[in-house]
Amino acid sequence: MASINDYQHSLANPEQFWKEKAETLAWFKFPEKILSTNEQGFYRWYEGGQLNTSYLCLDYHVETGRGEQAALIYDSPVTNTIMEFTYRELRDKVAVFAGLLASKGVVKGDTVIIYMPMVPEAVVAMLACARLGAIHSVVFGGFAPHELAIRIDDAEPKVIVSASCGIEFDRVIPYKPLIDQALKEATFEPDYHIVLQRPMALAELRSDREVDWNQALESVEPHTYVPVDAWDPLYILYTSGTTGKPKGIIRDNGGHAVVMKYSLQAVYDTNPGDVFWAASDIGWAVGHSYIVYAPLISGCTTILFEGKPIRTPDAGTFWRIIEQHKVKTFFTAPTAIRAIKKEDSEGKLFEKYDVSSLKYLFVAGERCDPATYEWVSDLLKIPVIDHWWQTESGSPMLANMAGVGLKPVKPGSSSTPVPGYDVQIMGENGELLGPNQEGYVVIKLPLGPGCFPTLWKDDERFRKGYLSKFEGYYLTGDGGFKDDDNYFYIMGRVDDVINVSGHRLSTGEMEEIVAANTVVAECAVVGIADKLRGQRPIALVVLKDGRNISREDLEAELVKSVRETIGAISYFKTVVLVKRLPKTRSGKILRKIIRNIADDVPFDIPSTIDDPAILTEIKEVLKSHQIGLEFEMD
Ligand code: COA
Ligand code: AMP
């Protein structure tokens, strides 16, 4: 059981602490060593351990008497479907699909890309890979073919698993053409493409390499679980960095399983048999950890929701699901709460439902602004817990831990560090800062066992991007401060990553797309504050001399390019023409200052600025486009 002393214990004696936590899992072979350093000099957990994550999620529960309990409830307002799968049923489905993958040549260590909407088969595919010791890489269905192509070339999957379509509100999105386009763009060629046919849009399968999921299942045998090493990767999950090349976050099997189990109890106070719902997507880290792995490893019931917080069919959907499936612990993004608040500010839809089963609301993905916190706390009258984490960590690093006893909530703060994470605030020169001083949010090494051990096929980028700025510390990419009670306040990214509707995106990548337009001399894409989405990108563009294009026409072209290259989720809608960009004397674009001007945040003019007069110009241009005024009108 988790205890209030866990944090101190985890820092004072990490090996002992994480050994105890590991003992709660059914390993095939218990690790020989808890913490090691590998050949690259990176920390690794649980050397010599052997396990299988799919076994822990499924077979273990069937063997220990949980076989008839609901493992997964699929609730899909967009298809009017609710389906329940017991642990036994899910285990059997996974075993058969693992048999299908094996029949297509997938073995331990191979990679498989899963590009699917929120259907149970997506979870089945993930767990089937885990069963074989294959490494899955789920690509969020909202990404455009180009993004998928990059991931295909990097992960080199033996098989791609997809569905024939996804559903966005009432719009059916055929996936096969997107995958075909991605495969055309990619240089790597997978052996097979397995397609789950959904009746709303059947995919045309044109060769033996394009396999109909259900038809193919008829001729395969179930496959048992394959023991893997603790250090073997379970999955790769690509996330946005500061360039167009996404980072392949690796999660290993051993440390991940331990932290999934520990965190569900310690952070979320969720125990075997409880119903846990993370309203995210399996394409994100939250979906991996808290739709699939943590609830299943812990013997809970997880909800797989195919819908949106609003318009599927209305802003009462979340509350309907909580009532109907008796959800105890709910996890969503602040942006979803803001969307509900906008449509049902007085809680009229909320009043229609009995949500008395609900004990906690956890929010993450972006900072929970105090106004959203107050509104939803008043509505639910239960603890609303903002907690902070990243794809890299795979589980919370700052949280008010419900399973060890809640501390007072401080709106705007993600509370205090979670066991395994020595979180600190650091100044530019590597000096640790005290309370109420803003700086880089860093974590003293080693990181906890659930964290990524490195990047897929790129140890150098891992070292350079995360470990080299401050020796002995992990650079999170966030800025913030702590208060006198060691509560942390995460104030936003210090790099070119932005958060749009809880989706992590790279402005650097958008800049590359904008800069590729033939009329663009130079540009800056920055994330500015957005009332609903938290942030949204805008582009400031300097035209090449003599190019005559209207702002509107250029905007339409660039919006189309970004949408087609990254996807509609980028929410890139605004292009502003400027005569020049603010720069330092050495030519570095001052993106943060542009952001501050747009958001009307006070800032110091850097002494290195080339020409301070430009700041007034930028302010005027942004104002003429109504940027920033949305907030002034409140
Ligand atoms: N497949 C295809 N397209 C997708 C998609 C998917 N899985 N997800 C989003 N899109 C599209 C949308 O249809 C929309 O397209 P459009 O511009 O043609 O209308 C575009 O991407 C932008 O989507 P989104 O930012 O989601 O805006 P929205 O208006 O559709 O919905 C919210 C707004 C707030 C309801 C929605 O963003 C939401 O539910 N956010 C919560 C996200 C979340 O839980 N994140 C957790 C990550 S931990
Ligand atoms: P992702 O990797 O997609 O989970 O995005 C991680 C980033 O989201 C973090 O680096 C933060 O910038 C932001 N983030 C996530 N949770 C929070 C939170 N609770 N408060 C503030 N920022 C958050």
Whole-number Å distance, alpha carbon 439 to ligand 2 midpoint, is: 16
Distance, CA of 217 to CA of 404 (rounded, Å):
45
Which tokens sit at 122? 């997506």
Q: Is 477 a residue whose pLDDT tops 60?
A: yes
Q: Is 632 a residue whose pLDDT tops 60?
A: no
pLDDT at 420: 95
Q: 490 in ligand 2 pocket by Cβ < 6 Å?
A: yes
Q: Which ligand is nearest to the CA of 286?
A: 1
Q: What is the CB neighbour count within 10 angstroms for residue 328?
A: 21
Q: Is 283 a residue whose pLDDT tops 50?
A: yes
Kindly report which listed range (160-169, 371-380, 613-622) carries the lowest average pLDDT score: 613-622
Q: 285 in ligand 2 pocket by Cβ < 6 Å?
A: yes
User: CB-based contacts of 465: which residues, under 8 Å, 6+ apart?
Assistant: 241, 247, 455, 475
Q: Which ligand is nearest to the CA of 280?
A: 1
Q: 478 in ligand 2 pocket by Cβ < 6 Å?
A: yes
Q: 621 in ligand 1 pocket by Cβ < 6 Å?
A: no
Nearest CA residue ID for atom 2, ligand 1 = 142
pLDDT at 305: 98
Query: Closest ligand 2 atom to the C-alpha of 387?
Result: 19
User: CB-based contacts of 231: which residues, under 8 Å, 6+ apart?
Assistant: 38, 44, 46, 47, 252, 253, 254, 453
Determine contact, residues 264/278, Cβ cutoff 8 Å: no
Q: Which ligand is nearest to the CA of 237?
A: 2
Determine contact, residues 322/162, Cβ cutoff 8 Å: no
pLDDT bucket at 626, cuts 50 / 70 / 90: confident
Whole-number Å distance, alpha carbon 502 to ligand 2 midpoint, is: 8
Whole-number Å distance, alpha carbon 415 to ligand 2 midpoint, is: 14
Residue type, 530: D
546-591 pLDDT, tens per residue? 988 999 999 999 999 999 999 999 999 999 999 999 999 988 899 9
Pocket test for ligand 2, best of 239, 389, 443 (most atoms within 8 A of CB): 389
246-264 pLDDT, tens per residue? 999 999 999 999 999 999 9
Per the listing, tokens 């932005």 go with 498
Query: Closest ligand 1 atom to the C-alpha of 286?
Result: 48
Q: 173 in ligand 1 pocket by Cβ < 6 Å?
A: yes
Find the Cα–Cα–Cα–Cα dihedral 459, 461, 467, 471, rounded to 10°.
Answer: 90
Distance, CA of 519 to CA of 62 (rounded, Å):
62
Distances (CA, A) of 560 to 151, 195, 246, 360, 398: 21, 28, 21, 41, 38
Nearest CA residue ID for atom 4, ligand 2 = 390
Rounded to the nearest 5 degrees, what angle is found at the Cα of 385, between the Cα atoms of 381 and 390? Answer: 155
The distance in angstroms from the start CA to the end CA of the chain is 47
Nearest CA residue ID for atom 5, ligand 2 = 390
Q: Which ligand is nearest to the CA of 399?
A: 2
pLDDT bucket at 413, cuts 50 / 70 / 90: very high
Nearest CA residue ID for atom 19, ligand 2 = 388
Q: 365 in ligand 1 pocket by Cβ < 6 Å?
A: yes
* Burial of residue 4 (number of CB atoms within 10 Å: 0-12, 13-18, 19+): exposed
Which tokens sit at 20? 């105890």
pLDDT at 630: 55
What percentage of the chain has pLDDT greater than the value 70? 99
Query: Closest ligand 2 atom to the C-alpha of 491?
Result: 21
Q: 168 in ligand 1 pocket by Cβ < 6 Å?
A: yes
Q: 338 in ligand 2 pocket by Cβ < 6 Å?
A: no
Query: Closest ligand 1 atom to the C-alpha of 279?
Result: 44
Nearest CA residue ID for atom 6, ligand 2 = 390
Domains of the chain: 87-226 (3.40.50.980), 501-624 (3.30.300.30)
- Across 207-211, average pLDDT: 97
Q: 331 in ligand 1 pocket by Cβ < 6 Å?
A: no
Mean residue pLDDT of the chain comes to: 95
Nearest CA residue ID for atom 22, ligand 1 = 569
Nearest CA residue ID for atom 26, ligand 1 = 569
Nearest CA residue ID for atom 6, ligand 1 = 142
Query: Closest ligand 1 atom to the C-alpha of 169?
Result: 13
Q: 388 in ligand 2 pocket by Cβ < 6 Å?
A: yes
What percentage of the chain has pLDDT greater than the value 90? 91
Q: Which ligand is nearest to the CA of 318?
A: 1
Return the beta strands (E) in 507-602 as ranges. 520-530, 534-543, 574-577
pLDDT bucket at 604, cuts 50 / 70 / 90: confident
Q: Is 633 a residue whose pLDDT tops 60?
A: no
* Helix (H/G/I), strand (E/B), else coil: 495: coil
59-113 pLDDT, tens per residue? 999 999 999 999 999 999 999 999 999 999 999 999 999 999 999 999 999 999 9
Q: 289 in ligand 1 pocket by Cβ < 6 Å?
A: no
pLDDT bucket at 629, cuts 50 / 70 / 90: low
Which tokens sit at 362? 């956890």
- Across 300-305, average pLDDT: 98
pLDDT at 156: 98
Query: Closest ligand 2 atom to the C-alpha of 503?
Result: 3
